[in-house]
Amino acid sequence: MHLNTFGKTNEGRALPLAVVGAPAATPEAVRKTGKIRVYIQGNIHGGEVEGKESAQVLLRELAQGKHDEWLKPIATLRGREEQKARSQT
């Protein structure tokens, strides 16, 4: 894992970016390999700390090689379907 930045805030502060992968790999070099790249956004609003904190845990565990890469976008399909049905009525 290595750290970089991907822009600046309106106040001029650097926006941090953590990259899990070979330290010498540039975006151009990775694109040429055809490997899948994944972007994870921890949170959008300042008061929503859960996403930021869970993203940091995920980064640490990936960097430590604790498990294979995985993604579980939703835990309860039935709950999602019920929410969708309620919001459309």
Give 61-74 pLDDT, tens digit per residue: 888 887 776 666 66
For the chain, how many structural domains are there in total?
Answer: 1
Rounded to whole angstroms, what are the CA distances from 44 to 40, 69, 75, 80? 11, 24, 21, 22
Q: Quote the tokens at residue 60.
A: 């640490």
- What residue numbers bound the domain in which 63 lies? 2-87
Per-residue pLDDT tens for 5-30? 889 989 999 998 888 877 777 778 88
Q: CA-CA distance, 47 to 41, in Å (whole number)?
A: 15
Q: CA-CA distance, 15 to 4, in Å (whole number)?
A: 9
Q: What is residue 8's predicted lDDT score, i.e. its pLDDT?
A: 93
